[in-house]
Amino acid sequence: MKNWNLRLKLGLVILSFFMILGFFFPLLYSGNVTEWSTYPTNLKPSMEHFLGTNSLGQDIFWLLCNSIRTSFLIGLFVAFFSTLIGILAGLVAGLKGGAVDRIVMLLADTFIVIPSLPILILIGSLTKGTASLFLIGGVLIAFNWPWPARQVRSMALTLRERDYISIARFSGESTIRILVKEIFPFVKDWSIGNFINTILVAISSESGLAVIGMSSNSKATLGTMIYWANQHQAMLGGKWVWIGSPVVAICLIFIGLFLLMTGQQQYSALRRGK
């Protein structure tokens, strides 16, 4: 803790701030945040409404907290699984080669070549606009694992040319052990980067869908929050808190994650005594 660098600390502060907003505060609010005309509309920020209320008569603060939670969950869910699947697939493909490689890459390529947004929109209209966030998450995973897979594979391909890997392989170590012990360190940093980026991709894809009304608009996510604000011309109408808060939230969450990532790299670099 004591010799953590600034980035690491800052990142953790920002993230934990949002974690608290997203996972603790919602517990304090009993009502249903998405319910309309719960309060008078368009109130200025005040003691009982920290961020005021919006044109739908929702309390922006509580809405924001819940939105942060949902978006966080989507982001983590998607990022975790797509990165995990991607890395494993990529490593296995890269190291085992042969049929395994071909099959994995065939799948990966198929998903890479199919444009994701149109499909997401298709799904959107398929599921009649009530795409459960879970489904959206699933689709996002399906479209996001191939990228790390390819990347990691090309890394693995170069790695497996390095002597000690082949040594390890000839000395009969199990692939898993090689993966974990010899190779993972090399793809670690990239993977963390990818993980964090995927969180963002997930969050912003969801809000991208939401903006064109294809997400599940009755649920509270940062995306749908922006959607409703847009629907009510918050930007031109200068309802900055309403439209601004989710945007700022997204940015800060990402920046927090990013600082965390780079900070962690510096930290581990220092540990390695480099």
Partner 1 sequence: MFEINHVSARYNMLTSFVNAVDDVNFNIEKNEIFGIAGESGCGKSTLLKVMYDLVDYPLEISSGSVRLYNGNSETNYIETGKLKECWWKDISYISQGAMNVMNPITKVENQFFDTVRRGYHKKMTKKQIREKVAAYMKELELSPDVLKAYPHQLSGGMRQRVLIALATFLNPRIILADEPTTALDVVVQKDILTMLMSVQKRMKNSMVIVSHDMGVHYQVTNRIGIMYAGQMIEIGPTDEIFSHPKHPYTQMLISALPKVGDNSQKEGIPGTPPNLKSPPIGCRFAPRCKYAADECRKIRPQMVPVGDKHFAACLLLEHAKGGNE
Partner 2 sequence: MKKSRLKKVMSVLFILCMVFSLVACGSEKTPSDSGKSGETSKESKPASTDGKMTDVGTPRSETLIVDILSGRIANPDLFNPYVPGSVPMDAGVHQLLHGKLWEIDTVKGEQYPDLAATMPELVEGKENTYTFKMKENLKWSDGEVLDAHDVAFTFNMLMDSQELAFGAVVRETVKSCQALDDLTVEIVTHKPEPKLSQKFGVTIFGNGLTVVPEHVWKDENPATFTYSDPLSSGPYTIKDRDKQGYWFLYEKREDWKNTAVGQTVGEPGPQYVLFKSFGTEEKRIMAAISNEIDILQDITPESWEILRKKNPESMAWYAGFPYADMNDPCERGIAFNCADPIYGNANVRWALALATDIKNVSLATFDGMLRVSPLQLPPTDVLMDNYHKPMVDWLKEFELEDGYKPFDDSYATEIVKILKEKGVEGLPETEQDIIDVFGVGWWKYDVDQATKILNKEGFTKKDGTWYKPDGSVWEMSILAPADFEIQSMRLAFAVADSWNKFGVKVTVVQQDAATYWNNEATANFEAGSFWPACGIMPDSSINMEHWNSKYIVPVGEQAPGNRCRWGGEANEKVTELLNELMQLPSDDPRVIDGITEICKLFVEEQPFIPMFGTSKFVPVTTHYWTGFQTAENDFEGPWWWWSQFKYYTPHLKPTGN
Partner 3 sequence: MKFLKFLSSRLLTYIFVILLGMTIVFFVPRFMPSDPVESMLGQMMSKSSTMDAAAIEAMRKTLNENFGLEGTLGEQYFGYMKRVIFTQDFGPSLTMYPVPVKELIADSLPWTVCLLGISTVISWLIGNGIGLLAGIRKDKAYSKILEGIAICIYPIPYYIFALTLIMLFAYIFPVFPLSANFDVSGFTWENLKTVIWNSVLPALSLILTGTGWWVISMTTLSRNTNEEDFVAFARMKGLNERKVISRYVLPNTILPQITMLALQMGTIFNGSLITEILFNYPGLGSLIYRGILQADYNLIMGTITTSIFAVATATLVIDLLYPFIDPRVRYN
The reply to whether 171 sits near partner 1 by the rule CB under 8 A is no
Q: How many residues bind partner 2 (CB under 8 A)?
A: 22
Nearer to partner 3, 122 or 180 (CB): 122
151 binds, among partner 2, partner 1, partner 3, none (CB under 5 to 8 A by kind): partner 3
Residues 249, 68 contacting (CB under 8 angstroms) = yes
11, 260 Cβ separation under 8 angstroms:
yes
Under rule CB under 8 A, residue 158 binds partner 1 = yes
Q: Output the six-digit token pair for 51.
A: 């961020």
Q: Does 231 bind partner 2 (CB under 8 A)?
A: yes
Question: Minimum distance from CB of 245 to partner 3 (Å)?
Answer: 12
Pairwise CA distance, residues 215 & 121, whole Å: 9
- 92-151 residues in contact with partner 1 (CB under 8 A) are none
Given the complex with partner 1, which of 176 and 270 has the nearer CB atom? 270
Query: Which residues are CB-contacts of 168 (< 8 A; sequence separation ≥ 6)?
Result: 177, 178, 181, 182
Please, which residues have CB within 8 angstroms of residue 140's CB and are 6 or more apart in sequence? 74, 78, 82, 116, 120, 201, 202, 205, 206
In the list partner 3, partner 2, partner 1, none, the entry touching 267 (Cβ below 5 to 8 angstroms by class) is: none
Token pair listed for 47: 């003691």
Neighbour count for residue 265 (Cβ, 10 Å): 17
| Residue 271 engages partner 2 in binding (rule: CB under 8 A) | no
Where along the sequence are the contacts to partner 3 (CB under 8 A)? 97, 102, 105-106, 109-110, 112-115, 117-119, 121-122, 125-126, 128, 150-151, 154-155, 157-158, 161, 189-190, 193, 197, 200, 204, 207-208, 211-212, 223, 226, 230, 235-236, 243, 247, 250-251, 253-255, 258, 261-262, 265-266, 269, 274
Interface with partner 1, residue 3, by CB under 8 A: yes
Task: Identify the CA nearest to 184 among candidates 88, 271, 250, 268.
Answer: 88
CB of 155 to partner 1, least distance (A): 12
Q: Is 46 in the site for partner 1 (CB under 8 A)?
A: no
Residue 1 binds partner 1, judged by CB under 8 A = no
Alpha carbons 250 and 121: distance in angstroms, whole number: 22
Rounded-to-integer distance, Cα 6 and Cα 117, Å: 37
- Give the CA angle between residues 63, 65, 71 to the nearest 5°: 100
Chain residues that interact with partner 1, rule: CB under 8 A: 2-3, 158, 161-164, 270, 273
Chain residues that interact with partner 2, rule: CB under 8 A: 35-37, 55-57, 125, 128-130, 212-214, 217-218, 230-233, 235-237
